[in-house]
Structure 1
Amino acid sequence: MTGENERAVQAAVDAEFRLLDPEVRASPSRVSELLDPEFTEFGASGRRWDVKSILAVTSGGTVSPESPVQVSELSGVVLAPDVVHLTYFADNQGRRAWRSSLWRRTETGWRMYFHQATPVASEVE
């Protein structure tokens, strides 16, 4: 990976971890700074989300400060200039899922364009 690609992947990783931070998740304005206006998510519940629906539930406390999301097997790759794909395994208080995010660089920084979570039964990985 070139230096520029490494920096792009690291920027996306940093932004992903900000979105997983309970303090950020509790602030609709901070979350909106990280989501692309065209953001779409297919959640582990099977629900489809957009920016408006995510911001409506943001302050609901989906990530506990006492039990932050545990991330493992994190991997990132540059798909095109200014587009990074991240994949990782997440455990949020026993709710386990493989996660996939597309990040794109905009004039205002890196923003999540797409996210998908595929739930994993606790006995399977």
Structure 2
Amino acid sequence: MKLSDEEGRAVRAAMAGELRLLDPAVRASPEAVTELLDPDFAEFGASGRRYDRASVLVVTSAVEDDDPGPDVSELRGTLLAPDLVHLTYVTERNGLLFRRSSLWRRTGERWRLYFHQGTPAGPARATGANPADPPGGTA
């Protein structure tokens, strides 16, 4: 199914935001993370723990900006409504795979991460499966 220009722009904006949140330099900046998280943000981490915006800021500010971050694969996006994009992807970090799902909500002209969930998917295959850990993914 081909996306309209507007749908494509929305999905690309959400993907760009998600990838920024995976960047250790961005994660180390509370201001940058705050800009990308919706005020009502919630996350169910791969650990099973629930996070809100404030708790994510505590966790992400402890990230070293020289951390290489996770490898990302299978990134896909779907426009669910004019101001809501659903992303799914896989991350790999330290030999472990995680399936991830994010909802990005647009308020005005700004896209922000509204909800994120990470689910453990087992060890990475030695065959080169490429994916890993937290985006909004903190745990």
Q: TM-score, normalised by structure 2?
A: 0.83
Correspondence for 1:42: 44
C-alpha distance after superposition, 1:22-79 (max 9, x if no partner) = 1000011110100000000000011000001111122111x76352211001110000
1:119 is aligned to 2:90: no
Correspondence for 1:14 among 13, 16, 29: 16
2-side partners of 1:103 and 1:53: how far apart?
19
Instruction: Name structure 1 gaps, 5 residues minimum.
Output: none
Contact 1:67–1:93 (CA<8 Å) still a contact in 2?
no
2:106 and 2:94 mapped to 1: Cα distance? 31
Give the aligned partner of residue 111 of structure 2: 110
Alignment partner of 1:86 is 2:82? no
Q: Quickly say closer, same or farther: Cα 1:94–1:67, change in 2 above 3 A.
A: farther
SS at match of 2:74: strand
Is 1:67–1:92's contact at 8 Å kept on the other side of the alignment? no
Q: Could you tell me how far apart the structure 2 residues matched to 1:64 and 1:97 are?
A: 22
Q: 1:27 maps to which residue?
A: 29
Tell me the C-alpha RMSD between the 2 structures. 1.7
| Equivalenced residues, count | 124
Q: 1:58 to 1:123 in 2, by over 3 A?
A: closer
- Contact 1:68-1:92 at 8 Å conserved across structures: yes
Structure 1 stretches of 4+ moved >3 Å: 63-66
Specify the alignment match of 1:97 in structure 2: 98
Residues 25 and 65, structure 2, Cα contact 8 Å, conserved in 1: no
**What displacement does 1:106 show?**
1.2
Identity of aligned residues (%): 56
Q: Structure 1 residue 92: deviation in Å?
A: 2.2
